[in-house]
Copies of this chain bind each other. A is one copy, B any other.
Amino acid sequence: MSTRNSGLSALAGARQVGRLAPVRRTSTVDLIAERLREAVVEGSLPPGAVLGEAELAFQLGVSRGPLREAMQRLTAEGLLVIPRRRGLAVRTMTPEDVRDIHWLRSRIEPELGRRILARPAAERKTVLAELGAEVKRMQRALRKDDARDLGDAYLDFHRALAAWGGSVRLARMMATLLIETRLCTFSMYEHFEVHRDLVPEHVAFVEALAAEDARRFAVLIEAHLDAEVARLLAEPVAAAKEGEDRLLAETPDEPQPLDRLDLPEGL
């Protein structure tokens, strides 16, 4: 033990002896899954899109085995659906899903606010700084009229909220819910779009947290999510027509919602 780090003593002295952080090696399946998640968030795999395994595997530069494993993981998260013998399809969100997702978020996020406010002052400051940075990014995106960047900053804002909530499980759920939120936009709107009220709303969120007013934060979040649902469902459900057209050459007269045949069987 004592001689173990002798050759590195000069370095070891600088930090902690014999306590190196384990190397984070990530498996191929992890990489593929992350890539697929990105693609879903980014919109290059639009809801309802049906891709063949072979084609997708070729694009990713892997064989079908690892791809299929990654697909199963995304399926467990509810982002993908695997219709029997028909490749994989990105889940299309129904109005009911929109309500469910946003309702769930309206229960979770206020709780996250409470937990963040319960943290020691030093950490709270860090969180506020992080959230503030995301809001700034949103403001910049709005000035540049960059809806995509605005949307990404929105996701990162709420991701940060979840990350500081102090529960790994809750953070994981929120991560999935946020991707699903993005899927709601893709499923309901024809094109990617974010409205202007978003930024002032988030400024208010940060202010409420800065004022340590958990109640106000909860009310604001709930109002935001309610408004979001109303906005998404107000759209004259043009469905994910555009997305399907982009990858499928033609869409017959709605044979059956391809991506809702099998539900993930996690009960």
Contacts and interface: CB of A to CB of B under 8 A. Distances in A.
A15 interface: no
Given A25-B84, A76-B77, A265 B68 contact: no
Given A70-B72, A72-B73, A78-B169, A107 B100 contact: no
A221 to B, nearest CB: 15
Contact of A26 (B22, B78, B265): B265
Given A69-B68, A75-B73, A104 B169 contact: yes
A267 B171 contact: yes
A27 interface: yes
Interface string A61-76: 0000100111111011
A172 B78 contact: yes
Contacts of A261: 22
Nearest to A170: B104
Interface in A237-267: 261-267
Nearest to A29: B72
A72 B71 CA distance: 9
Interface string A42-80: 000000000000000000000001001111110111100
Contacts of A25: 84
A103 interface: yes
Contact of A266 (B72, B75, B77, B104): B77
Contact of A111 (B27, B77, B107, B263): B107
A101 B168 CA distance: 10
Contacts of A82: 27
A30 B84 CA distance: 12
A82 B28 CA distance: 12
A72 B80 CA distance: 14
Nearest to A103: B167
A34 interface: yes
Given A29-B72, A73-B72, A100 B168 contact: yes
Contacts of A76: 72-73, 76-77
Given A27-B82, A159-B267, A176-B266, 5 more contacts: A65-B65, A77-B266, A78-B169, A168-B263, A172-B267
